[in-house]
Amino acid sequence: MRHLLAAAAFAGILVTGSQAASQPQGAAPKEKSAEPVTREPLRFVTSHSGTFGGQTMRYTATAGETFLRAENGTPRAAIFSTAYVREPRDPNRPVTFLFNGGPGSGSVWLHMGAFGPRYVDIPSDGTDDGGPPYRIVDNPHSLLDVTDIVFIDPVGTGFSHALGDTPPSDFWGVTKDAQSIAQFIRLWLNDNGRWNSPKYLGGESYGTTRSAAVLNQLEGSYNDVSLNGVLLISTVLDFGAGADTQGNEMTHILNLPSMAATALYHGKAQAESVEAFVEEARRYARGPYAHALLQGQALPADERAAVRRELARFTGLSEAYLEQADLRVEPSRFYKELLRDRGLTVGRLDSRYTGRDYDNAGETPDNDPSFYGIDAGYTAAINQHMRETLGVRTDRSYVTIGSVGPWDWRLGAGRDSDAYLNVTPYIGRAMRENSGLRVFVGQGYYDFATPFYAAEYALSRTGIPQDRITYAYYQSGHMMYVRDQDRAALSRDIRAFIRGR
């Protein structure tokens, strides 16, 4: 997981704390808009029809800017969004606000991969997407049959940017970013007459962190925007527990089930099913493995040997390697070591993907094959869709993954909350104070960016109503929708979640 986070990988891929920390605090932002704010927000409206969830319908697509203004009315930022609204319009129909993660990622991945009316058809089996042209096809799995959808690009992503003399860094932080998205949502509800609509909020990867922080901005005061549901896709909430840093034993516990799933997928372990094997790994991780790690150097030799044998069975790594790693294998080492005998590395975002490094001698991979295996297709697809299908006219480049640093990780709720970064309590409080709020959690078994057991751990803590959380698991990784079967399954699961209100 990285933490204070990992390297900017994308779609969700959090920027790691090591990168964020390497940038001097107070450093000038990399871009500052000199655009005079005398124009009106850009707005492009087109009419379409399609079949989604088995229903044929007409819908309007509105792609354009919403200005966030200071108290004196001065525009500070242009938030670009793409809204798909069913016709004829119904003020009581659900509306869902979606974004991706990063921080620094545009909403392209959920937009063109999962829930938009069209998607980019790249290989489903964990192989590289190659070169263009890429097939951009109608998406029967879009959620438009059950909800209107608004895709949001935060400042510094997509076509969104700061305006006038406002530095982009005013929007770059857990709380600052959440405040800007909450302001956008309130304005969208104003402009579209949707205050009494059922409302859903969702994100992927850091977008789940953002979801919790935005939820706090929307429901954390008396001027509430009450929500019906939160969609967490590839979840990261508790950065302290998942920090890949020396001395943190929890990260090894939380990563073990993902290692087991990956070892099984690549034939390095044996089990009847991935579901059964990861459940066995969960129990071992929170039982004998946790007991062993918490003893530190006082671990008895016989218990150490027993743990080493079981870790070899779960991870597919040799006992000799596990001994050298002191029973604690960091994910970056696992990616390189698991298939070293085949000259291959496995992916971080999706460990089904494999790659070949410059040589086979290193400790960690040169790059993430599950990132470079899909990014080109998505970049081409969002630009083609925006500029051709939706008629967007702008000289700005669509930022799929941008530099938004230094990122302010402080929650502003006191020293303790800033020392141990965990936004899960925002979700717990909102659920306790809103009896109609439910949470959907979708996780891929082969995702090391946001491991599924880490999501389960965070959401099982004190103060979070367990009877209103729905979990769903997929036979893929961080972006489970790149696999055709899981795109359909994710759509079915969220559709059922929304209808279940």
Q: Any bridge partners for residue 229, and if so which?
A: 200, 438
Residue 2 lies in a domain: no
- Of all residues in the chain, the percent with pLDDT exceeding 90 is 86
Judge whether 6 lies within some domain.
no
Residue 8 domain flag:
no
pLDDT in tens, 147-156: 999 999 999 9
Q: pLDDT digit string (tens) for 66-120?
A: 999 999 999 999 999 999 999 999 999 999 999 999 999 999 999 999 999 999 9
Lowest mean pLDDT among 7-16, 249-258, 332-341, 379-388: 7-16
Per the structure, the count of domains in the chain is 2
> Mind listing the pLDDT tens digit for each residue in 245-254?
999 999 999 9
Together in a domain, 232 and 268:
no
Q: Residues 232, 298: one domain?
A: no
230 shares its domain with 258: no
In tens, the pLDDT along 405-426 reads: 899 999 976 666 678 999 999 9
Q: Are residues 339 and 470 in the same domain?
A: no
Structural domain includes residue 407 = yes
Neighbours of 415 (CB within 10 A): 8
* Cα dihedral 348→351→354→359 (10° resolution): 50
Cα atoms found within 13 Å of the Cα of residue 105, Cβ hemisphere only: 30
Is the CB of residue 335 less than 8 Å from the CB of residue 258? no
Would you state the structure tokens that stand for residue 178, as one six-digit string? 């959440």
Please check whether residues 233 and 367 belong to one and the same domain: no
Does the structure show a pLDDT above 70 at 32? no
Q: Is 383 domain-assigned?
A: no
* Distance (Å, whole) CA 10 – CA 16: 11
pLDDT in tens, 288-343: 999 999 999 999 999 999 999 999 999 999 999 999 999 999 999 999 999 999 99
pLDDT for position 36 = 63
Encode 35-72: b = buried (16+ Cβ within 10 Å), e = exposed: eeeeeeeeebeeebebebeeeeeebebbbbbbbbeeee
Q: Do 220 and 313 belong together in one domain?
A: no
Same domain, residue pair 233 and 299: no
Report d(CA 213, CA 227) in Å as an integer: 13
In a domain, 4, yes or no: no
Q: What pTM does this model have?
A: 0.92
CA 151 remoteness from chain centre = 14
Residue 387 located in a structural domain: no
What are the two backbone dihedrals, phi and then psi, of residue 152, each rounded to the nearest 5 degrees?
-115, 135
- On whether both 205 and 58 belong to a single domain, the answer is yes
The rounded distance, in Å, linking the Cα atoms of 276 and 428 is: 29
Do residues 93 and 145 make contact, with C-beta atoms less than 8 angstroms apart? no
Residue 319 sits in which domain range? 250-372
Whether residue 272 is found in the same domain as residue 408: no
Do 461 and 421 have their domain in common? yes
Does residue 442 belong to any structural domain of this protein? yes
Q: Which of the listed residues 311, 339, 372 is the one where a domain comes to its end?
A: 372
Looking at the structure, do residues 310 and 411 belong to the same domain, yes or no?
no
Contact 454, 271 (CB under 8 A): no
Write down which residue in 338, 372, 406 finishes a domain. Answer: 372
pLDDT confidence band for 373 (50 / 70 / 90): confident
- Whichever domain contains 32, its CATH number is 3.40.50.1820
Are 235 and 269 within one domain? no
pLDDT band at 180 (very low <50, low <70, confident <90, very high): very high
Domain boundary among 337, 372, 407: 372
CA distances from 110 to 97, 356, 382, 422, 487 (A): 11, 28, 11, 24, 11
Which of 186-195, 376-385, 415-424, 437-446 is the least confident region? 415-424
Mean pLDDT of all residues belonging to the chain: 92
Residue 50: phi, psi to the nearest 5?
-170, 175
